[in-house]
Amino acid sequence: MLQLPHQPLQVAAVPPQRAPAREDEAGPWHAEAVCRRDEAGLFFAPSKEPTAARLAREAAAKRVCGRCPVMVECREHALLQPEPYGVWGGLTAAERRVALARRRRREVELRKASATDRIAQAG
Ligand code: SF4
């Protein structure tokens, strides 16, 4: 079975279904992930983590992501799944929700602009 990057050793908030069902869903980028063994537990929150500790842990995880050769692939994977927990591709779960909302808004605007163009060309 494919090993995910930063597979948590002890996980409080991460459900077991976070593992992709098939290797082609996960992509070959996993092999180059620098967080393959998250021994420091940086990428997922333990239960009842205080805010200051969470912010420090997430900042440390993002520093790891910053030197990861597959950050773009990882981020896109986490956005497409979407991965609901943890730091992926240098983004927290909250940051990914914002990124996804922006992406959806942009897609709606592009569809509207495209429809407007078609109407203008037909008229
Ligand atoms: S970008 Fe971050 S979370 Fe993704 S594989 Fe690299 S180190 Fe892991």
> Cα–Cα distances in Å, from 65 out to 22, 50, 94, 102, 108?
24, 22, 16, 22, 30
Model pTM score: 0.76
Q: Which residue out of 2, 4, 70, 73 has the highest number of ligand 1 atoms within 8 Å of its CB and is therefore the one to mutate?
A: 70
pLDDT tens, position by position, 32-56: 999 987 778 999 999 999 999 999 9
C-alpha of 104 from chain center: 16
Q: Which residues line ligand 1 (CB under 6 A)?
A: 5-6, 33-35, 43, 64-65, 68, 70-71, 74, 87-90
- Exposed, middle or buried: residue 95 (CB in 10 Å: 0-12, 13-18, 19+)? middle
**pLDDT grade for 23, boundaries at 50, 70 and 90:** very low
pLDDT tens, position by position, 66-122: 999 999 999 999 999 999 999 999 999 999 999 999 999 999 999 999 988 888 888
C-alpha of 29 from chain center: 13
User: Domain segments of the chain: what residues?
Assistant: 3-11+24-122
